[in-house]
Chain A
Amino acid sequence: MIKKFVVGLTLNVIAYIIGVVWCLPLIGLLMASVRPYNEIVSGWWNLQEFHITFDNFIKAWYSEPFPLGQGFINSFIVTIPSTLIPLMAGAFAAYGFSRFNFPLRDYFFMMLVVFYAMPLQAIALPVFRILNSLKLLNTFPGLILVHSAWGVSFATIFLRNYFQTLPREVEEAAKVDGASDFQIFFKIIFPMSLPGVISVLILQFSWVWSDFFFALLYIHSPEKYLATQSLVMMGGVYQISWNLLAAGSILVTLVPVIFYALLQKHFIRGMSGWVTGKG
């Protein structure tokens, strides 16, 4: 009895120590974001002087010449279509991969997975030339196209595996009644796959929102900078304004975190589908 209690206590203590240690960088970030600069230069753990202020967030939002507020607007302009376009294109293709039979089907599908696993550098330089010749360099439509194309593989893979797990009875009955593939896709498969669709939505949205590499390569005007770019540029040249950077970091992180938190259940289901092979 006592032994059991001691083991239980030890496990709890170890778990909490891990939790606290893992949390420390985040606590530091939070502390730096809500305190004035002169209080954090001597270490955020110094609490002799402790004032809470939201100035840093406001300054980061309006900071010149790379205001995070403008970055947020730009990021939303790019991220929303870059999430919806590959989602739709991928859902159609996923239906094809899971419901049609054609030669080399599994090889094409494997190719998509390989694309998905490739580093962005694999396509980045020729894409630069292509965008340039299409006069789409340094434009949102250009960046949206690249993100959409890059996201199609992921959306297709994820949704194909989701569609595979759906029961077939309903659509077979519909087929007997003469329903076309379009009707089956829009009226049966898509509505039944809402959790899978939401998972793709979250993951693709967070991916595009967090992207820095494509933005760095294809967007050059400061007024068009995405949130991640404005954040990186905000630091200051000679003296790093850690309080602004911390506040900006929290703002940029908040968007995907809120997304994950709202739709956490679907996401965990999607992840376990990825991992265990049960979908």
Chain B
Amino acid sequence: MEPTIEKVSIIVSKGSLEGVYPGLIMANGARAEGIEANLFFTFFGLDAIHDKRIDRIKVGTVGNPGLHVPTWVGAIPGMSWMMTKYFARKMDGLDIPPVREFVEMISDTGAGLYACKASVDLFGFTKDDFVPQVKDIITVGEFYEIAAGGQIVFT
């Protein structure tokens, strides 16, 4: 019998578009394969579940060599907005949902969504700041309890 993965816990630590999507895609993909999945949002990754920020996740256009845009060009006002629009259009064409819809869908697949307590305290957030799909604000210790017996992926 081939080895299989039964459970993954994915940490989303970045708040840029390119920082948020990989974790969401991996969590959703895990559930689609019947793998148990949990998402743990920490530091700027909290923006992906923050009700007022979730629709404003942008591509990082400065200091992002993968974008192949000179840093000074990336710094022009409106650049990040424009690149984000560009990606949003491309992603829509590929049937990749916007972050809010994606988070709702992942929650519907049965994956658990959690916010990191240390980061929530650091930014002065409360549970009310987050989208309703967030199950709980948990400590790192509780995260490890939830992640026990599975793989942990940090993004």
Partners in one complex: no
Q: Interface of A with B (CB < 8 Å)?
A: none
Chain B residues near A (Cβ < 8 Å): none
